[in-house]
Amino acid sequence: MELLNVFLALLKLRIQYVNLELQGNHVSHHTQGFSSKTLVVRRGAPFKITLLLKGRGYNPHTDTLMFRILLGQLYAEFPVTFSKQGSPSRWSAYFTPKGLNPNSPSLYISSPASSSIGLYSIELYVLTQHGQQGYVVGDFALLCNPWCHEDAVYIPFEDQREEYVNNDSGLLYMGTPKNLESRPWSFDQYEPEILDICLKLLQVSPQHGRNWRKDYLDRADPVYLSRVVSAMINCEDDRGVLRGNWLGDFKDGVPPSKWTGSADILRQWAKSKFSPVKYGQCWVFAAVMCTVMRALGIPSRVITNFNSAHDTNGNLVIEEFYSETGKKLPYSKDSIWNFHVWVECWMTRPDLGAGFDGWQVLDPTPQERSGGIFCCGPAPVKAIRERRVDLAYDIPFVYAEVNADVQTVIVKQGQVLSSSTDTERVGSLIVTQTIGSPRPQNLTGNYKPTKGESNRTHTHTHTHTHTHTHTHTHTHIIHSYSAFGKDGIGQVMSSAWFHQTRESCFSWSDSPLGAFWQIPCGLSCSWKGYLQMGCVQLQRSVSCSDS
């Protein structure tokens, strides 16, 4: 009887060892640069596993191998077959078509090109006539795949994949349009621990904390991923990576100008149990986000916009107020930075249509809220150029950064003495590093028509509460009102400008001076303007006729 039991035990199929073929898989999946003992593969492409069996060899007539792939508590189960023709929308596994070794069979596991990004676990179940036995195989990281045609981040040219996914160093541009300064930066996505930290960043996001199941499922979409990362690079709403500081006092941290790479920042963040690293400014925020996106497999590049507008009220106009002596007046929160740095990421936009696929603006520097949190984008560059400010995400804000009009107003005792409009100052030069070269590549024409290409119009149409039509003409001031809130007597709270031209209807743009109603000479008109500011309401009807 004992001899019989020994014989039966020998007949049982057992897994002695599973070889995840790290070296070969990393080469075929373009992940060989990652300093990780974990298998790192890209979605939409098969990866190889070799089994070493014990007891007896694999018998396809009596034995079944079943895999379970887990992302958190979500999982997919599928058998190993002899057919490569699995469904492109499902996980599958198949034996090597030729030369199956029963004692050490090799097989391939294939993921859909729309799989969620993250750290997965593999379990293997052996089903025989003697029952079922399970094995924990190990973990693997699944990334986006810019080499896969079916992936939403597929980018068609190898030199672009090499530069915007694989390259771990580059140049950031600063200074002025006429005097560009380049700053070397190490993106460090292949440094030890960095990929693990980038994946952990997704785990500590508020989205994952609120609904882990939805977060895991949504990670299939690079649009969703990019918005999560954009918010997590700053710490305004979450356990983000960096704290911004524009006041100049960096005693309790590192001055932004001292950082030269992303690895030190990300490691310090992880080591501190996800407390924000002090300090960052726009180029640091953007460079760290570029690191995370490249690590996740999404093609990314750092962009510098010179004379970058910050439109705080969404009217696509930067208002600057001056006294008659030239002193700048604090009536507007709008500003123009000598340069600002953000990220472009490459992806499709099925939510908007194929016409808006390609490069998308993402800005992790905390400026304005988007969907209630401090993030920005993805905003299609094509939509920015076409002034499609009705589309998602944050296109009015980015459009203003590169193409806002600058309205300069001279004021004396609440009366507007003169105003002028500059249509060329904002977004005067937009650059990134040229592929394979230290020279800057001029991208200005991607964001807006260049001189001579088309006549610039000053019509900005969007779906905000206020739709602004701005065409500057010589005007007469009819009335001037200052509005004061009940909590700030004597403080200018808000206002509006009303104006009309022969080509456009009346509209208004925010200004902190009161309601300025402007009627052009020689024009018949009749209109009513209404403005509510806190507890103050203004209403007037004005009419005029040809003089």
* Assigned token pair, 156: 């068609």
* Neighbour tally for 391: CB within 10 Å: 21
Largest CA distance in the chain: 119
In the block, which residue shows the tokens 């896969």?
A: 148
The phi, psi pair for 436, rounded to 5°, reads 70, 20
Task: Judge contact between 389 and 315, C-beta under 8 A.
Answer: no
Length of the chain (residues): 547
DSSP string, 329-371: ES----EEEEEEEEEEEEE--TTT-GGG-EEEEE--S--SEET
DSSP assigned state of 258: G
Secondary structure element (H or E) that encloses residue 319, with its range: strand 317-323
Q: Which residues are catalytic?
A: 282, 340, 363
Task: Please enumerate in sequence order all residues whose Cβ is within 8 A of that of 326, keeping only pairs 6 or more positions apart, or say none.
Answer: none
The phi, psi pair for 38, rounded to 5°, reads -85, 145
In the block, which residue shows the tokens 């995370």?
A: 292
* Neighbour tally for 268: CB within 10 Å: 15
End-to-end CA distance of the chain: 119
The phi, psi pair for 518, rounded to 5°, reads -120, 125
